[in-house]
């Protein structure tokens, strides 16, 4: 398998990580996961824009322009074979003697490689369960930072309790999932936390917002409480890898009648249809 390291493609077995890479030691860096369907990237520009924004927010400057990086990623796809899954792209601040502060002139380290994954079709059809947990993360969740410690703790708690996702609650309000955005539906209005510093504004979330408008579905970017979540008619999550997945149980209680709701199913269909329109043949 080929890996993009800065601006060259190398075999995975040849890639070495320096013990003083700040990404490795401090999680000092940012990342993206870009969906690839049948060898073709989906929403690559949106992901790259978010990647460059995240890097800028923590003051890391890429040596490649966005166009150049796009070209390098295309070389990575061409080096295939690559079918379904994602491309993981990571940028660390670089290698420097271990101390918290850093000097000017460190060379950022970029890597990108394919991570195969299957579309969660069973979960999309049948729905999944979720747990809730306090959102104890930092206040810059809009940056796609390598620091995922708290997200991991809650995802693992969900996993070991047999749930698919952990829904995070800050000051009584639902923010997002550990690796997804959360939507609830009440009286046919779709709600999601506003795109602020408290959530990652998902690329899937943005695509869905456009589909809601196209389909005339009422969408409010408005925070809702844990109680409202538990009283919702329907709940679903969205992400690059999960696309749209109905949540049918939260903290052991059924959402609505405990089956995927009609509007959620329509949202999923609209999303899959939009992929087809972008010529994703396998969907």
Ligand X SMILES: Cc1ncc(COP(=O)(O)O)c(C=O)c1O
Does 124 contact ligand X by CB under 6 A? Answer: no
277: tokens are 């329109």
CB of 167 to ligand X, least distance (A): 11
Which string of x and - marks every residue 160-189 that binds ligand X (by CB under 6 A)?
A: ----------------x--xxx--------
Q: Applying CB under 6 A, which part among 88-96, 122-130, 188-196, 198-206 lies near ligand X?
A: 198-206
Q: Name which of 124 and 180 has its Cβ closer to ligand X.
A: 180
Size of residue set near ligand X by CB under 6 A: 13
Considering the complex, what minimum distance in angstroms separates the CB of residue 106 from ligand X?
A: 26
Does 240 interact with ligand X (rule: CB under 6 A)? yes
Which is nearer to ligand X, 63 or 138 (by Cβ)? 138
- Beta-ladder partners of 219: 190
Residue 127 engages ligand X in binding (rule: CB under 6 A): no
Out of 223, 239, 255, 261, which residue is the one contacting ligand X (CB under 6 A)? Answer: 239
DSSP string, the chain: -EEEETTEEEEGGG----TTBHHHHH--EEEEEEEEETTEESSHHHHHHHHHHHHHHTT---SS-HHHHHHHHHHHHHT----SEEEEEEEE--B-SS-SS--TT---EEEEEEEE----HHHHHH-EEEEEEE--S-S-TTS-BS--HHHHHHHHHHHHTT-SEEEEEETTEEEEESSSEEEEEETTEEEE--SSTTS---HHHHHHHHHHHHHT-EEEE---BHHHHHT-SEEEEEETTTEEEEEEEETTEESTTSS--HHHHHHHHHHHHHHHHTT-TT-
Relative to beta strand 128-134, strand 8-11 is unpaired
Nearer to ligand X, 203 or 232 (CB): 203
159, HSE (Cβ side, Cα atoms, 13 Å): 8
Residue 203 interacting with ligand X (CB under 6 A): yes
**Residue 200, interface with ligand X (CB under 6 A)?**
yes
Q: Given the complex with ligand X, which of 200 and 263 has the nearer CB atom? A: 200
Q: Which stretch binds ligand X (CB under 6 A): 3-11, 109-117, 200-208, 223-231?
A: 200-208
| Nearest alpha carbon to residue 168 among 145, 188, 150 | 150
Catalytic residue check, 144? yes
Contact status: 204 vs ligand X (CB under 6 A): yes
> What is the closest distance, in whole angstroms, from the C-beta atom of residue 179 to ligand X in the complex?
4
CB of 98 to ligand X, least distance (A): 27
One of 2, 72, 144, 155 is an active-site residue; which one?
Answer: 144
Q: Find the binding residues for ligand X in span 27-86 (CB under 6 A).
A: none
202 part of the interface to ligand X, by CB under 6 A: yes
Catalytic sites, residue numbers: 144
Residues of this chain that interact with ligand X (CB under 6 A) are 151, 176, 179-181, 200, 202-205, 238-240
């Amino acid at each position: 398998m080929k890996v993009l390291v800065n601006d060259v493609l190398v075999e995975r077995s040849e890639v070495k990580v320096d013990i003083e890479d700040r990404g490795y030691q401090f999680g000092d860096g940012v990342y993206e996961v870009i969906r690839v369907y049948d060898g073709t990237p989906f929403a690559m520009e949106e992901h790259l824009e978010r990647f460059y924004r995240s890097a800028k927010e923590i003051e890391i400057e890429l040596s490649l322009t966005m166009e150049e990086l796009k070209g390098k990623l295309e070389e990575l796809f061409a080096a295939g074979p690559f079918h379904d899954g994602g491309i993981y792209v990571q940028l660390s601040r670089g290698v420097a003697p271990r101390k918290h502060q850093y000097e000017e002139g460190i060379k950022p380290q970029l890597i990108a490689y394919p991570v195969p994954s299957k579309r969660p079709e069973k979960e999309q059809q049948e729905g999944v369960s979720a747990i809730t947990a306090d959102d104890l993360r930092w206040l810059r969740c809009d940056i796609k930072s390598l620091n995922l410690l708290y997200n991991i703790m809650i995802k693992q708690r969900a996993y070991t309790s047999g749930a698919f996702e952990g829904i995070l609650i800050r000051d009584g309000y639902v923010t997002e999932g550990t690796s997804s955005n959360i939507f609830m539906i009440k009286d046919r209005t779709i709600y999601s936390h506003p795109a602020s510093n408290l959530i990652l504004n998902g690329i899937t979330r943005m695509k869905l917002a456009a589909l809601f408008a196209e389909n005339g579905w009422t969408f409010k970017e408005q925070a809702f409480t844990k109680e409202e979540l538990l009283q919702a008619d329907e709940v679903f999550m969205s992400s690059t890898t999960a696309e749209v997945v109905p949540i049918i149980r939260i903290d052991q209680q059924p959402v609505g009648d405990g089956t995927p709701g009609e509007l959620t199913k329509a949202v999923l269909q609209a999303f899959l249809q939009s992929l087809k329109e972008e010529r994703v043949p396998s969907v």
